[in-house]
Structure 1
Amino acid sequence: MTSHGPVLPIWHCGGCGAPWPCRTRRTELRAEYDNAPVSLALYLGAQLVVASQDLPWVPAGDLHRRFLGWLR
């Protein structure tokens, strides 16, 4: 189990304090979803929806880059 989970409703990492998903959690997620990139995108998309409700002042484009922009 990771210590780099999100602290809600501020969406910062519980392990390092960076905006979630932090660099460490991104690496972990890539490993966890190694053969399932669509599932990873769906999971992060769902997290994006929740975060957008918790962080209505953050521009949508910023949240999109934060949650999905790093996927390739």
Structure 2
Amino acid sequence: MTAHGPVLPLWLCAGCAAPWPCAVRRHELLTEYASAPLALAVHLGSYLNAASQDMSWAPPAALERRFLGWLP
């Protein structure tokens, strides 16, 4: 289990206090889902949905870039 999980409702990283998913967690997720990139996108999409509810003040495009924009 990672130390770089999200701290809700602000969606900051528990391990490094960066916006979640932080660089470390992104690397971990890419490694964990290397053989299932579509599953990773679906997984992160569910986080995007939850984060958009928790952070209704955040611009939707910024949240989309944050949660999905870094995927290969």
Residue in 2 that maps onto 1:45 = 45
| Structure 1: 4+ residue segments shifted above 2 A | none
Supply the distance in 2 between the matched residues of 1:69 and 1:34 (Cα, whole angstroms). Answer: 17
Deviation at residue 9 of structure 1 after TM alignment = 0.5
Unaligned runs of 5+ residues in structure 2 are none
SS at match of 2:39: helix
What are the residue-to-residue correspondences of 1:28-67 with 2, within 5 Å?
A: 28-67=28-67
Q: CA RMSD in A?
A: 0.3
Supply the distance in 2 between the matched residues of 1:8 and 1:33 (Cα, whole angstroms). Answer: 23
Supply the distance in 2 between the matched residues of 1:15 and 1:50 (Cα, whole angstroms). Answer: 20
Unaligned runs of 5+ residues in structure 1 are none
Normalising by the residue count of structure 1, what TM-score does the alignment of the two structures yield? Answer: 0.99
Specify the code of the residue in structure 1 equivalent to 2:11: W
Aligned length: 72
Normalising by the residue count of structure 2, what TM-score does the alignment of the two structures yield? Answer: 0.99
Deviation at residue 4 of structure 1 after TM alignment = 0.1
